[in-house]
Amino acid sequence: MRVGAFALVALLAAACSTTAVDRGNYIADSRYQAQNVDSRVRFLVMHYTEIDEAQSLRVLTTEGVSVHYVVPDAPQLRNGKPVIWQLVPESQRAWHAGVSYWQGTTELNAASIGIENVNLGPVDTPQGRSWQPYPPAQVDALIRLAKDIVTRYNIPPTRVVGHSDIAPQRKIDPGPVFPWKQLYDAGVGAWPDASVVSAHLAGRDPSMPVDIRGLQQKLARYGYETATDGVLDERTKRVFAAFQMHFRPRDYTGNPDAETDAIAQALLDKYMPKEGGETPSAP
């Protein structure tokens, strides 16, 4: 069937009307789309606010920091669904990660979505330091949000991180009571398999000291910015503590012990087998 000149012009005009946008001084036509593209979003970063909800919204909307989402500690419900505040469109950069590093990427503001959870973090009292818990309703809302984000952007488990993971020299949020395991059970983020951790411990005392350089190398392969010189200085201890706060929150003193080493190797086995090296023997 031959298409007449008039019909062809009509078809082209129809195509232009659906793909062209008049931007005032020019028209942008998007009928031709490149295939060699990827998403700006490659990481998901978790935080706590250290202040209450009202203060958090004020600071994050009027001062020199910002974030994509704020999860209240007591979310309101609309039609049975939790309400989460979105402060920045996902397509735009928010200022929540600062000087940061993860898996070879620096300045994660440009490549991440940030979630602030309303939580006071550490609370120091005469009896010592305690941490404000994350209430079940907040955890439920966070899981719904995070699962949606990692699904839409296909974010790998090892790229769901805390502020302390990407900036261990200056940050400790989202803290040791953050529900990383609950997120993992819901399909968000990474977690080691207990049986593999036990296999790598191989009967050793979990608190036994291990080779510092070897542990540094494992954490560097996993994503942390750390020296690999075998020196247990304060910078290295802060990296070890950040890893422990994420994956072994009952003890995050930063000491290079056998359990920390086993957890690190179990994560490498699970998520980076070609880079991780060792394969655990049967327990």
DSSP state letters, 135-186: -HHHHHHHHHHHHHHHHHHT--GGGEEEHHHH-TTT--TT-TTS-HHHHHHT
Helix (H, G, I), strand (E, B) or coil at 200: helix
Closest CA to 197 of 272, 270, 273, 274: 270
Active site residue 234: no
CA distance 82 to 216: 41
Q: What is the DSSP letter of 78?
A: E
Q: What is the DSSP letter of 96?
A: S
Burial of 166 by CB count in 10 Å (0-12 exposed, 13-18 middle, 19+ buried)? Answer: buried
Catalytic one of 63, 90, 107, 116: 116
Which ranges of the chain does DSSP label H, i.e. alpha helix? 5-19, 53-62, 136-153, 163-166, 180-185, 194-201, 212-222, 234-247, 258-271, 273-276
Catalytic residues: 116
